[in-house]
Structures are given as structure tokens and as C-alpha cells.
Amino acid sequence: MKRIQLSIPFSVDLTEESAWEALNEKCTSFGIVRCHFQLNERILNEPHQVGESLAVYKSPKGVGSQHVISSSFELEEVRQINSIEKFLFESESTAKFASELAAKIGFSKENSITGKLKSELSEKLKQSVMSSVEINESQKIRETTSFEITNTIDPNVTDPIVAVPVFKRKSFDLLLGHVDFLRVDYEREMLGLRKKSKKTPKIIDFNSHPNRIEFGIPLATIKYWEFLPKSSALMLEDEHEVQVENSEQLSIEAPHCEKRKFVKFPDVPSLYQIANAAFPLKWILRKAPDNQWTEDKLRKIELDEVKNTNNGWWRKYGRSS
């Protein structure tokens, strides 16, 4: 079973100060709540089905032996994962959930959220996602697929033949795996003349991030049609019945299973690493020239907070690295 991790907002986008929420008018305090979703692919126990015909052929009379029809086609199809990612990114449901969670945790408390509150917020998110019914046209990302249909035709068949695309019904179970959050303040240290960045909650162990909240909550099931180019075939026109009228549909239904699941935190740059890119240590360096950040570059940023505390991971491994 395929498992796909989606983090909203995207790591590279968060290297821009404008992607963070300004928490005061002076713009010396910033906060972010990031949601980590997981898609679990599931094949439905349904037969293959065919779509609209792509072309019509007629076998010539008097052919003494079998002959081969081979034609190339192009079909526009939806890229399901990218479309779901765009849906989650643009959805008011995600934004509202993040906003309400931020109000509860205040960007500063270390995972101080009760199980009851987690259930209430995730239930509201689930109901809001399901109310969408399906992913709309503006959120669908498409690509053109080239393929070929080749079949050997019996010379005795003279009735019209059509080329048809074949589809298989599949689904993704959408879960909210984790949420992480961070606050960055520019403050003057005691007797200090210049403002320096300070992150909350404070991290002292590289392997223990106090700003992560585990959910593992099923939100919805998203059903879609997968195009099977190698299964597409020729069939008699009078036997052809369109079974898949809208192969680009991405429908949203109630979760297949309501049971809470364990979801591993995704391999993405931490908010501490991203904040080091978005908010330089010194206030006066905030408007430094833009850097072309990638996720790999962000992962390599050291967590100076851990290093400077001489504690946890750094104390154990850092001096020899």
C-alpha cells in the first residue's frame, strides 16, 4: 500500500517571512502552525470499467487473415496526489483548523492541548473536509498521457469497432498525522543593544521536538479513477457502454475507518531549521538577499539552539561530528 506524506504549508514557502503570521503590529513576533497529512492508497474491490470511445474502426471485407490495428492516443488525466495537495493547501478547512489550534496553544505552550480539545478540533476539520463533497475544477492539476492501443482483429468481424480507455476505481484514506508549531520573537537580551531571534517552545534535544502534536485522525476517503493504458482495448461498438462518465472526478466521502492510527512524522525540515532560514539571528539581517532554498538545504541547517545548550543530542554526538 502506497503512503504519501503532505505537509501544509510547504517547507520552502516558509522561508519567506510573509508566510508566517505576524503576531504584533511591530512585526517582531511571528508564528506558524503546520499540518502534516498522510494519504493511504487503497484499491477498491470493483471491476474495471470503460470510458468514452476514442476512435471508431471498421474491418475491411474480404481480408483473408487476421490483421492488427495499432493507434496512438493522448488522454488528459488528473494527477490525484498533486490535486489533493492543492485542495488541502487552498482549503478554508485547513486554514480554520490551524487558526483555531494556534489560538488554543498560543504558540508557546509545549504540547499543552488536551485529548478532548484535539478530538473537538479534528472532528470539526473532518466535517468541514467532507462537506466539500469533491475537489473542484480549479484545484485539479492535469497532465497529458500518451499511450497506444494494439489489437489483432478477426477478419470475420465487419461491425464497427471502438477504442476505449479502461479505468480502475481506487481511493486514498486521508489522515491528519501531526501538527507542529513555532513562535519566533525578536527581543533584546539583558544589557543587549541589538534584537536577536528567540524561538518558542525551546528545543534542547535534537531527537525530541516539543512543538509537535500527534493526531493520527482519519478525516475522509477520497475516491478517484486510475487510468490503465496497458488495459485499454478495442471492442465492438454496439457492445460499448460508457461506464465512467467523468474520469477526472475526485469525490470526498466519510472515512473508511474511524479508528485512530499511528502515523510517522514525515521526513521534512523542522520548523526550527526553517525558522533559521526565514529569520536570521540578528534583527538587522532580516532583509538579507533572498536565498534559493530547497528542502535538502533546509535539512542541513544546524539547530544552534541544541548546540549552544551543550545538552541532549549535541552533548552526545556533536563534538565528534
Q: Coil, strand or helix: which one is 287?
A: coil
Give residue 308's pLDDT.
Answer: 62
91-111 mean pLDDT: 83
Give residue 114's pLDDT.
Answer: 83
How far apart are the two ends of the chain, measured CA to CA in Å?
37
Q: Which residues pair with 221 in a beta bridge?
A: 173, 253
Residues 89, 197: contact at Cβ < 8 Å?
A: no
Instruction: Return d(Cα 185, Cα 196) in angstroms, integer.
Output: 8
At what angle are helices 92-105 and 115-130 packed, to 10 degrees? 170
Instruction: Return d(Cα 32, Cα 272) in angstroms, integer.
Output: 11
Give residue 284's pLDDT.
Answer: 54
Give residue 62's pLDDT.
Answer: 54
The mean predicted confidence, pLDDT, of the chain is 86
56-82 mean pLDDT: 80
Report residue 315's pLDDT band, with 50, 70 and 90 as the boundaries. very low
* Residue in the block written with cell 521526513: 267
**Structure-model confidence comparison of residues 285 and 156, the more confident one:** 156
**Structure-model confidence comparison of residues 291 and 97, the more confident one:** 97
Instruction: Return d(Cα 230, Cα 48) in angstroms, integer.
Output: 12
Q: Coil, strand or helix: which one is 165?
A: coil
For residue 233, give the H/E element and its range: strand 233-236
pTM for the model stands at 0.85
Report residue 319's pLDDT band, with 50, 70 and 90 as the boundaries. very low
Nine-digit cell string for 100? 483555531
- Of 37-41, 178-182, 304-308, the range with the lowest mean pLDDT is 304-308
Residues 113-131 pLDDT 10s: 888 898 999 999 999 999 9
140-152 mean pLDDT: 92
Single-letter amino acid code for the residue at 179: V
pLDDT at 47 over 90: yes
pLDDT at 176 over 50: yes
Instruction: Return d(Cα 18, Cα 14) in angstroms, integer.
Output: 8
Q: Which residues pair with 176 in a beta bridge?
A: 37, 217
Within a 13 Å sphere around the CA of 269, how many CA atoms are in the beta-carbon half?
26
Residues 226, 55: contact at Cβ < 8 Å?
A: no
pLDDT at 163 over 50: yes
- Maximum distance among all Cα pairs of the chain, rounded to whole angstroms: 100
Phi then psi for 101, rounded to 5 degrees? -65, -40
Residues 219-231 pLDDT 10s: 999 999 999 999 9
Instruction: Return d(Cα 301, Cα 304) in angstroms, integer.
Output: 9
Radius of gyration of the chain (CA): 27
